[in-house]
């Protein structure tokens, strides 16, 4: 049986040029390149490093708040928190007014690891950006800020407030959470 093909070849998605895909490949490639160094030397996974880095700047967050700040999956954060707690790199304290809520903070051991990893991370960032002129770096930073703001605005926008096309494609219909208009053939 021949696999189905799109009715309109002009509507094929060129994955290599699709911005979310390109950003994901770039982020994953960059993260895995440096992660090997700190995984081997400090026995840290990428999620564990991110939890340490967030808590170094904002001690006292809950695991849910760490997940929100890092845009990581709650399960990945939970596993990282459990591992870092076992390794005595972070500690959890329970809020007195609400025993269901806990706060996370680096321990002296966690802070020492953080302070060792930071120079590696910054040197890696410098190496990646070495060939990029300062003006372009500033533009890149601004563009990334704009893209993040745009994505956050789209994510929080009410679907009902968005204009709906008369007959969206099946993919667009799923994206906009609307049902495609039925058309009669004949």
List, for residues 1-55, the tens digit of each pLDDT value: 777 676 776 778 889 999 999 999 999 999 888 888 788 888 999 999 999 999 9
Cβ neighbours of residue 88 closer than 8 Å, sequence gap 6 or more: 107, 109, 110
Residue with tokens 């081997």: 40
- Given a contact cutoff of 8 angstroms between Cβ atoms, the answer to whether 34 and 48 are in contact is no
Task: Return the closest-CA partner of residue 49 out of 26, 23, 70.
Answer: 70
- List pLDDT tens digits, range 99-124: 778 899 999 999 999 999 999 889 99
Residue 182 confidence (pLDDT) above 60: no
For 152-163, give one letter per residue: b (16+ CB within 10 A) or e.
eeeeeeeeeeee
The domains of the chain, with CATH numbers, are: 17-157 (1.10.10.10)
Entry pTM: 0.73
Instruction: Tell me the average pLDDT across 142-161.
Output: 81
């Amino acid at each position: 049986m021949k696999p189905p093909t799109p009715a309109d070849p002009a509507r094929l998605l060129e994955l290599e040029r699709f911005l979310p895909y390109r950003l994901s490949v770039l982020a994953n490639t960059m993260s895995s390149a440096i992660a090997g160094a700190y995984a081997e030397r400090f026995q840290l996974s990428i999620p564990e490093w991110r939890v340490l880095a967030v808590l170094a700047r904002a001690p006292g967050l809950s695991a849910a708040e760490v997940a929100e700040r890092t845009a990581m999956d709650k399960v990945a954060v939970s596993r990282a928190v459990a591992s870092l707690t076992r390794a005595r790199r972070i500690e959890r304290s329970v809020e007195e007014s609400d025993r269901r809520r806990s706060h996370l903070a680096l321990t002296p051991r966690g802070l020492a690891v953080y302070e060792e990893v930071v120079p590696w991370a910054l040197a890696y960032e410098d190496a990646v950006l070495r060939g990029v002129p300062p003006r372009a770096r500033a533009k890149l930073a601004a563009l990334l800020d704009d893209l993040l703001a745009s994505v956050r605005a789209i994510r929080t926008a009410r679907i009902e407030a968005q204009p709906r096309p008369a007959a969206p494609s099946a993919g667009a219909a799923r994206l906009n959470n609307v049902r495609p208009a039925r058309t009669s053939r004949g």
